[in-house]
Amino acid sequence: MDFSIAPHHQLLISEMETFARSELQDDVVARDSTGTFPMDWWHKCAQHGIQGMASVSPYGGSSPELDLLGSMMAIQALGRTCKDAGFLLALNAQMWTVQIPILHFGTEEQKERFLKPLATGLKIGVHALTEPDAGSDIFSMQTTATKVNGGYLLNGVKRFITLGPLADIALVFASTNLELGQWGISAFLVETDSPGLTKGPVLEKMGLRTVPFSELTMTECFVPTENRLGKEGVGFSICHSSLEYDRCCMLAGKLGAMERQLDDAIQYAQQRRQGGKAIGKYQAVSHRIADMKLRIESSKLLLYKVAWCKSNGQNAPLEAALVKLQLSESFLQNSLDAIRTMGGNGYLKEYEVERDLRDSVGGILYAGTSDVQRNIISKLLGL
Ligand SMILES: Cc1cc2nc3c(=O)[nH]c(=O)nc-3n(C[C@H](O)[C@H](O)[C@H](O)COP(=O)(O)OP(=O)(O)OC[C@H]3O[C@@H](n4cnc5c(N)ncnc54)[C@H](O)[C@@H]3O)c2cc1C
């Protein structure tokens, strides 16, 4: 087993770090307070080929094949260097839950019309799955798609939609036959200027405040047949396939953020003196930092394993659930430990770890809560 990083991946990592260090820096504390999304960064990232990493040429990607391991390492590098977790969630939400389903299930025409503008940063796409009464039990969704001449009429409400207020294209899951349950669900690419689609107001939230969320409501919203992604009834498969990418790729940035946090915690523990010595010399502090390192390394191995499985054409539902659970819970715990290390300073906005803690909570909820990941893992273990 070879754990070394290939030279072309090492190059990609340093390119990403250089890019993020020069272009993705500003006063995140201030933007977090006002809940402001950095739209100029979105375009800079697209020019740098970041959204294109979840596509292939000629649809805005730089090569004819995905390089998932390279993409994970690149996003990890972004998370290490760019402090805006909300912005990274926005990028990842579009890339892995909108672009990948179009890449895998779209027609050539759909890839040209929808994937290319997303991968090149011209448009913003959102994944519209959750509903007010369908969260963890997602396939009990009540949004309907009724067949009419030339297309479908969509009716229903989608909730907690990352980037909802800024969306140009929504990948909407809806049932063409509620009686069929999960087998009645289909996926639709809905342009958000379609009559009958309305965006709700921006939802105020605890963390990830730099990316706006909203509801999307569809009332007799007409979607032409050519905008259906895949065949009727394959929404369940599309959803499952994208969730596997979602569960590993969405969190790669958080791995990078944990590495940055660890460096800061070590530096703080070396410099802060109490009782005549650096606090890092107290075992209570140093052991806490040792645990932070352990969580990072175990998360990293799981993440790279999923990327490797997917790159080699293997399904990895167990590994994807394991990494989602381990990485999201680790970021939460490490954020709390970083605050403990910094004492009262860690509680202040300017030290930026209180924001990490608020941002980390979203990770244990989206793409299936930690309880749901444990359900998946235990089911796949035959329980
Ligand atoms: C930051 C963030 C971003 C999001 N972005 C999007 C997005 O872009 N698009 C989108 O469609 N959705 C998005 N969501 C929604 C997200 O996927 C749901 O919040 C999530 O699936 C949980 O659903 P729920 O909130 O309805 O909670 P519920 O399903 O009501 O769960 C409430 C509690 O009950 C537990 N629970 C429920 N069922 C079970 C069970 N069977 N076994 C054990 N425990 C159970 C849960 O673990 C949880 O603790 C986002 C959410 C967040 C927080």
> Please, how many CA atoms are within 13 Å of residue 21, restricted to the half-sphere of its CB?
9
Could you give the number of structural domains in the chain? 3
Give me the long-range contacts of 305-310 (CB less than 8 A, separation at least 24): 306/244, 306/247, 306/248, 307/68, 307/69, 307/71, 307/72, 307/248, 308/69, 310/68, 310/244, 310/245, 310/248
Q: Which residue, judged by its Cα, is nearest atom 51 of ligand 1? A: 366
Domain check: are 371 and 256 in the same one? yes
| 86 located within any domain | yes
Closest approach atom of ligand 1 to CA 375: 42
Please give the distance, rounded to the nearest whole angstrom, from the Cα atom of residue 162 to the centre of ligand 1: 13
- Average pLDDT over every residue of 338-365: 98
Share of residues in the chain with pLDDT > 90 (%): 93
Domain check: are 258 and 345 in the same one? yes
Closest approach atom of ligand 1 to CA 129: 11
> Residue 110: what pLDDT?
98
The domain boundary residue, chosen from 84, 107, 124: 124
> Residue 11: what pLDDT?
97
3-state secondary structure of 144: strand
> Residue 369: what pLDDT?
97
> Residue 288: what pLDDT?
98
At residue 311 the predicted structure's pLDDT band, cuts being 50, 70 and 90, is confident
Residue 156: CATH number of its domain? 2.40.110.10
CB 222 within 8 A of CB 148: yes
pLDDT digits (tens, 9 = 90+) for 214-265: 999 999 999 999 999 999 999 999 998 888 788 778 889 999 999 999 999 9
Domain check: are 64 and 133 in the same one? no
| 2 located within any domain | no
Closest approach atom of ligand 1 to CA 158: 11
> Residue 53: what pLDDT?
97
Q: Which residue, judged by its Cα, is nearest atom 12 of ligand 1? A: 130
Give the containing element (helix H, strand E) for 260. Answer: helix 252-271
| 298 located within any domain | yes
| 203 located within any domain | yes
Q: Is 127 close to ligand 1, i.e. is its CB under 6 Å away?
A: yes
Q: Residue 50 belongs to what domain range? A: 7-124
Domain check: are 307 and 373 in the same one? yes
Angle between helices 85-94 and 39-47 (to 10 degrees): 50
pLDDT digits (tens, 9 = 90+) for 69-88: 999 999 999 999 999 999 99
Residue 120 has pLDDT above 80, yes or no: yes
Query: What is 76-134 written as a DSSP string?
Result: HHHHHH---HHHHHHHHHHIIIIIHHHHHH--HHHIIIIIHHHHTTSS-EEEE--BTTB
| 246 located within any domain | no
| 175 located within any domain | yes
Q: pLDDT averaged over the chain?
A: 96
Domain check: are 256 and 368 in the same one? yes
> Residue 250: what pLDDT?
81
- Average pLDDT over every residue of 179-196: 97
Domain check: are 172 and 196 in the same one? yes
> Residue 124: what pLDDT?
98
